[in-house]
Structure 1
Amino acid sequence: MRFITTAAPLARTSIRRARLATASLLSATIILLFSAGAAQAHHGFYDFDTDRLYYIAGTVSQVRWGEPHSYFTVTVEDGLPADTPERDLPDGLRDAADSDPINAAPSYSGSHDELSVTIAPPSFTSMWGLDRKLNDGERIEAVGYVGKSHEDEFRPVVFWVEDGQPVNQVLNEELPATPLPVPYPQGDAPSADTDQDPPSASAQSEEASPTAVWATAGALLVAVIAGGAFYLRARSRRT
């Protein structure tokens, strides 16, 4: 009889510990999956067609300003010029390897009258040319990429506000000394006296593949589950 009364509390303790460990594993799984999704969403240009740049101009609406990105809608103007009008470029995009493809970008001719635009968060734009929120009804011009899976999405490499101020949108921690990795439009070539340098390491990390993000998250998840299983097995042996 003494054996029964002693074993019962031990069994209940083991059950509570198992439930606690299971809940911890579940929480860790949710956190890892959420973190991987957030990391994937935060990467800059991976879901955009970086084979070709386009020029757009239009009126801003539905502005959402904040981290990790700011968003707004641009109602694209009719009668856009054939390619990018002559505009000032920020310091980091003035080398020929970057300015040539931007200046040669044809105007957007897709089927969407409105484009959902994603730009850098205020922490970047405030350093790189825009220290305020865009206003509904404001006119902007931009050169950037159209979405791959969602052709109504647009991601600028540079945009200009109403007073002509250029805003750099190539996200690196600091402006590199070498030309930025802005691809040339098909059929265009760099200036004859300029060779395009390979992308900088920071630019490559910005465009890291989402597959790598999920692989890392999966490895962490496996490690957490394995650790939890080892813990439960060790606890069961002790009891």
Structure 2
Amino acid sequence: MRFITIAAPLAGTSIRRVRLATASLVSAAMLILFSAGAAQAHHGFDDFDTDRPHYIAGTVSQVRWGEPHSYFTVTIDRDLPADTPERDLPDGLRDAADSDPINAAPSYSGSHDQLEVTIAPPSFTGMWGLDRELEDGERIEAVGYVGRSHDDEFRPVVFWVEDGKPVNQVLNEELPATPLPVPYPEDDAPAADADQESPSASADSDDTSPMAVWATVGGVLVAVVAGGAFYLRARSRRA
């Protein structure tokens, strides 16, 4: 009888501890998933027309340097060449699949005299070729993508500072999409046959999304925690 009197509070305490541990680990798993999603959104090119790289050159102003991105304005040169001039590329973008679209990218011909440029934060840019803050008044060149919904925005895959040094801006060291043929058709690329999967769709289906990986890891973690909680609760009841 004495044993039962002592064991019951202990069992209750164990259950409460299990519940607290479970809640903490589940919260941690959700935080991991949220952080992964936020990082993917921050560093992604989803809001930019990745089928159509363009070359720009101009003068930097309004530099905002920091995390999670750095920003600056580029006033576009009036006499841009027809396409990208011959420039050195970083090691990660020298394969033909990446270098050919970059070298053949036509110059920006949009209606804006200035573009708002988004680049990776200093923690990444410092590793990829630029260990200092850009300065108002200096000149850069870049190849990248114009915004889909905001066509006054620009996201480079590579840019060059005044000394001609290339700065890689692609996380996976490859272009995010296969560009359309150059020169671009006046309209968008023709729609794929209904019975034939487009190359880009095939490529997407073969690649494992980072979010899918993180979701799987989070799901496994939650399942392990829940299983451990049920096991300890059943064990406490038997005691």
Q: Is the shorter-chain TM-score for this pair beyond 0.5, marking a shared fold?
A: yes
Alignment equivalent of 1:212, drawn from 209, 214, 220:
209
Residue 103 (structure 2) pairs with residue 102 (structure 1): yes
5 Å-filtered alignment, 1:1-239, equals 2=2, 3-43=4-44, 45-65=45-65, 71-77=70-76, 79-81=78-80, 83-84=82-83, 86-90=85-89, 98=99, 102-103=103-104, 105-111=106-112, 113-119=114-120, 121-125=125-129, 130=130, 132-163=132-163, 165-169=164-168, 171=170, 183=179, 186-187=182-183, 212-239=209-236
Question: CA deviation digits over 1:87-125, x for unaligned, max 9?
Answer: 533376788873576355132414473312315611011
Question: Sequence identity, in percent?
Answer: 35
Change (3 A) 1:42 1:113: closer
RMSD over aligned CA atoms reads 4.0
Q: Which moved more, 1:229-238 or 1:144-153?
A: 144-153
Q: Partners of 2:28 and 2:71 in 1: how far apart?
A: 34
**Per-residue CA distance 1:55-82 (angstroms, 9 max, x = gap):** 2222223435567x76231232363436
Q: What is the CA–CA distance in structure 1 between the aligned matches of 2:125 and 2:43, rounded to whole Å?
A: 10
- 1:118 maps to a residue whose letter is I
Please list every run of 5 or more consecutive structure 2 residues that lacks an aligned counterpart in the other structure. 186-202
User: Is the CA contact 2:84–2:103 (under 8 Å) kept in the aligned structure 1?
Assistant: no
Provide the secondary structure at the position in 2 that maps to 1:142. Answer: strand
Q: Secondary structure at the match of 2:230?
A: helix
Q: Corresponding residue for 1:198?
A: none
Normalising by structure 1, we get a TM-score of: 0.67
CA contact (8 A) 1:53 1:102 kept: no
Query: Secondary structure, in 3 states, of the residue corresponding to 1:123?
Result: coil
Structure-2 separation of matches of 1:81 and 1:188: 18
TM-superposed CA distance for 1:167, in Å, is 1.0
Distance 1:48 1:219, change over 3 A: same
Per the TM alignment, residue 9 of structure 1 is displaced from its structure 2 partner at its CA by 3.2
| Structure-2-length-normalised TM-score | 0.67
Structure 1 pair 135–167 and aligned structure 2 pair: CA distance change class (3 A):
same
- Does the 8 A contact of 1:60 with 1:72 survive in 2? no
CA contact (8 A) 1:105 1:185 kept: no
C-alpha distance in structure 1 between counterparts of 2:50 and 2:71, whole Å: 20
